Structure 1
């Protein structure tokens, strides 16, 4: 299969903030029950409710939410002064996971995405921490006890400090070490019938490793080859251990450059993806210059959720019949303040649901949606961008109080009712000449 590495680094620059939440706001709009049917777009097509087996969920990652992080590549980057904020306690999922899992249960969520951090499990080479296993044991069991399916991420950009000392993904031996740890995780948790994410957003992972000094740019292709190897290897092992499992690697959807991204990783593992996992955050259009803020002030960038439709349409065409799952979607605010564009989190969520329903109505096989995130957390170097359904002021509130945004009621109602009402009109009009799927989304828009 043809592979492409030249020019990839330029593409990856656009992926830094599209990951694992790249970047909660109070806002107005909608009805008292959290669903509403008001809007300001004139007229868009009516939609059917999503089916009862649609997988509504929430998404998180270990390093970003747990706090009290052991030695890892990311604690090294922080210690070297390469980030704005230290990670510290984060939202302290490490000690408050039962509370956060209960919040997700109260929403009616069916899926809780979490991470099992290799750096926490194996802080020294060959020596596993039994207290870390006990923590993850209870997290996974608690998710199941709450009536939700765990979606377990094996690698959300973090690996042990001792692996960093050995060269990280510059080192070919990383494949053997990674697979050895991942097999232990699979052996332990397959009995809970989770779904699995192997590598979170490989292209964005690559950018972060290069930009923070963990990966020599000369080894770009080698790192991609190693991720293909670990994905394919653990995919086979999961299916041997847990027949019928659903396994994927979620892609950070970066509009108009999918060809470069897909040929370097996704196309090479497509035969070992049970569903296409997709993360979508920001819109792009020649009529909207706010996209230029993605890399510095993402709360100023357009989060137009009609882009969800185009991203799903893109992959439905690339992989006909393959189930599609939105593994991450959300909207950043600056320290929980209202966004400059006035877009409220609840309105964004309702609009996103509308476009999921439109996609389903148009025959696109979208099977699930995870909101990023349950709580605000560490956004890869900063606590300023906030994505949480529950906002947490990590830097200024020692109690780490979880304060519900207006989106909590909205999401609860969306889940209960299978989306927005048939006659719902999105609060924001469809983007004029969206480039989320290149010229196709501009020339063949969904009105």
Structure 2
């Protein structure tokens, strides 16, 4: 494989999914609400907050040169306007550990979870959220900016419209639409386990919490875009050398006969409508897991007989190549910030990576400007509403002992990274 010099090879995590005990966040509160639609609480998660040094050393040992992780807003600003020096110094240590081990940090400043106090104010429907978010980003970058070469403001800024489509799609044959966002789907019981269905467990529209994942309204989507642009300016002011962008969840939208207009609508709502907010960004993070088939009434179920993952997604690694080619219309360099598969069969993860990277190489050969591939996820971690059942990790985690065990997929991808770094 031939990739550009300086290409980022790595894996990704999100703070709430791996750190453990994120007690000041809105999701922690939801997990512990009676009758919660979360399958289980996050608890200690992977205890990454304590074990980050050994985890970063392991990623470097496996052959990676980059690590994408998030800084948890609820830790840095546990109360409105009060910043935690201890939390900032913790993330300084995480960043320094990356540099010490030769890993380029790709930092995400918001990965789905927010401080409880923000949600109590109205969350991502609250008109003052952009300035609150920008103040947090500015504080972090004024302290840590020289250690942060890449900063993603918001993870999957377009997730609200995607989830809205899933929740409003008419059930067909009792199956959820293909390509539903992570943690909001009916799990395919591929391994014989009972399927989980968080979609059915979600509260009614009027009772849904005002958290980032459920920011569906036109006002809410506008606030997310404003938050990105305000944060970008705050980052630039504090750390001009840092490359700034955001990430989008981009499914490979494929219309069936009669579904062309619906497919155009979905692509417009989840990509084209966000392009104006990217004006002035340095890169776009692309996150792709599968394709979404679309009929005349909207998203369709996975085709009969298709291989599915633990999330109910169709096994379709070629989606990444197709999405990268379409995303070039944003006019920005691209970084694959997530691409992965929930499966208990690691040989299928190896095949998913192999096919995905073959498509990525074809895109790069054809001139698509891709600067990195960051696999989701580094570890088997907390998968939001579905708890710990889905396993996306390159590295297995025994949650009783917190012992880490690299899988064959980790060694396969790490070896590719090493070979390409030496090419």
- In structure 1, how many angstroms separate the alpha carbons of the residues matched to 2:339 and 2:157? 17
Distance 1:99 1:60 in 2: 15
Match of 1:17 in 2: none
Give the C-alpha shift of residue 99 in structure 1: 1.2
Matches within 5 A, 1:269-348: 269-284=277-292, 290=302, 298-316=310-328, 318-320=329-331, 322-333=332-343, 337-338=344-345, 344-348=348-352
Residue 101 (1) aligns with residue 91 (2): no
- Asked whether the equivalents of residues 107 and 415 of structure 1 are also in contact (C-alpha less than 8 Å), the reply is no
Count of residues paired in the alignment: 359
Aligned residues of 1:152 and 1:196 also touching (Cα < 8 A): yes
What are the superposed Cα offsets for residues 214-236 of structure 1, whole Å, 9 maximum, x if unpaired? 23989711122212222111212
Give a deviation string over 1:309-333, Cα, whole Å, max 9, x none.
Answer: 11111112x134x211101011111
- Note the C-alpha offset of 1:348: 1.9
- Counterparts of 1:270 and 1:329 in 2: how far apart (Å)? 21
Unaligned residue ranges in structure 1 (runs of 5+): 1-47, 422-447
- Does the Cα contact within 8 Å between 1:153 and 1:197 map onto a contact in 2? yes
Shift of 1:300: 4.7
**What is the TM-score when the length of structure 1 is the normalising length?**
0.74
TM-score in terms of structure 2 length? 0.78
- SS at 1:417 equivalent: helix
Any unmatched runs of 5+ in structure 2? 168-201, 254-265, 295-299
1:147-182 residue CA offsets vs partner (Å, 9 max, x unmatched): 122111111111111222222122212222211111
**Correspondence for 2:244:** 247
Q: Counterpart in 2 of 1:214? A: 209
Partner of residue 378 from structure 1, selected from 377, 382, 395: 382
User: Structure 2 CA distance, aligned partners of 1:293 and 1:79?
Assistant: 38
Aligned 1:343-422 pairs, distance under 5 A: 344-381=348-385, 382-394=387-399, 398-418=400-420
Answer whether contact 1:323 1:365 (CA < 8 A) is retained: yes
* 1:202 counterpart SS class: coil
Contact 2:158 2:271 in 1 (8 A): no
More relative contact order in 1 or in 2 (CA 8 Å, sep 6+)? 1
Q: Are 1:259 and 2:263 an aligned pair?
A: no
RMSD (Å) for aligned C-alpha atoms: 2.7
Q: In structure 2, what is the Cα distance between the partners aligned to 1:206 and 1:70?
A: 28
